[in-house]
Amino acid sequence: MSQPDDYQAALAQGYLPIREVARSTGVNPVTLRAWERRYGLVVPYRTPKGHRLYSQDHVARIQAILTWLARGVAVGQVKELLEQRVPASAAGSNLWDELRQALLQSIERQAERQLDEHFNRALALYPPHTLCQQLLLPLLEELDQRWHGAPFGAQLQRVFFHSWLRSKLGARLYHHNRQHHGAPLLLVNLSSLPLEPNLWLCAWLASSAGCPVEVYDWPMPLAELAIAVDNIAPRALLLYASQALDAAQIRRELPRLNSACAVPLLLAGPAAQIHADELHNLPGLHLAAGPMAADRLLHQEQLL
């Protein structure tokens, strides 16, 4: 491709604006601009009016960057690795372990400002998909292991962190919803837990992909969800359950909801694995083990 000098002509030649690159790679425009300004990682072409335009080579470079980030390499080290053509199979650093430990220490002390600063710095440099897979899901797993058996202070830490996570992600969803259009994805907590953190991760990933979302983060009877579907007219309904469902939900309520809803129905979380054999014959029901699997499924079904 020749270097573009006219925006519309460049689009006709196959160049992509930043919003399209963000949609296809999962790296939001703020992060792409930070990579450009701070590290010179991906430097797009600029038209005389300042529009950023990306070629397919740029997109391929972004995918290579994501591969290194997933291996735990700090974003500031990626440019040198790319220039040296180091194989992607090379071992990464312990970046994610260090970030996770920093968050754990903030949670132990209920240091909200410190927790916020650690997360904001990571969010400015890493896309949500990478942060979810490499940082937040391992963090939740480690916290669950620490809290197992209800040691002293565990409930305080749980309430503090879950409240922070809901507030943090909820604010981002609110602002994203003001920018996105179309039918929302409706996400519902199907657990008996008062707050389901993985439900919010599912919502955050969907929102980051440009999808408006509505989150009902409180257990509710399945029989009443058909009313919400009629009123909201979502593009799909995602139920998240980290616990086993009861017999009535499996044998009566879920099949009835599946039949009543005119939109795709997804069951995500450990419950989808626990009851896979019982639910696999239910027509139209999609099962996903957790937030990352749910995100892949939503993309595969073209629901985002």
| pLDDT surpasses 90 at 289 | yes
Strand partners, 53: 17, 45
pLDDT at 4: 61
Q: What is the pTM of this model?
A: 0.86
Residue entry with tokens 């979810």:
132
**What does R_g of the chain's alpha carbons equal in angstroms?**
21
Q: Which helix (H) or strand (E) holds 155?
A: helix 154-179
Higher-confidence residue of 92 and 124: namely 124
Residue 282 is classified by DSSP as S
| pLDDT surpasses 80 at 163 | yes
Averaged pLDDT for residues 229-255: 93
| pLDDT surpasses 90 at 26 | no
Tokens at residue 213, please?
A: 């979302």
Q: Which domains does the chain have, with CATH numbers?
A: 7-83 (1.10.1660.10), 95-167 (1.10.1240), 180-300 (3.40.50.280)
| pLDDT surpasses 60 at 48 | yes
pLDDT grade for 5, boundaries at 50, 70 and 90:
low
pLDDT at 60: 95
HSE value, Cβ hemisphere, 13 Å, CA-based, for 137: 19
pLDDT tens per residue across span 63-96: 999 988 888 788 888 999 888 876 655 545 578 8
Q: At what angle do helices 75-83 and 56-70 cross, to 10 degrees?
A: 120
| pLDDT surpasses 90 at 189 | yes
pLDDT tens per residue across span 193-210: 888 999 999 999 999 988
pLDDT tens per residue across span 274-288: 999 999 888 889 999
Tokens at residue 185, please?
A: 């994805």
Question: How much is the mean pLDDT over the chain?
Answer: 90
pLDDT at 297: 94
What percent of the chain is modeled with pLDDT above 70?
Answer: 96
Lowest mean pLDDT among 53-57, 101-105, 141-145, 190-194: 190-194
Query: How many Å is the maximal CA-CA distance in the chain?
Result: 64
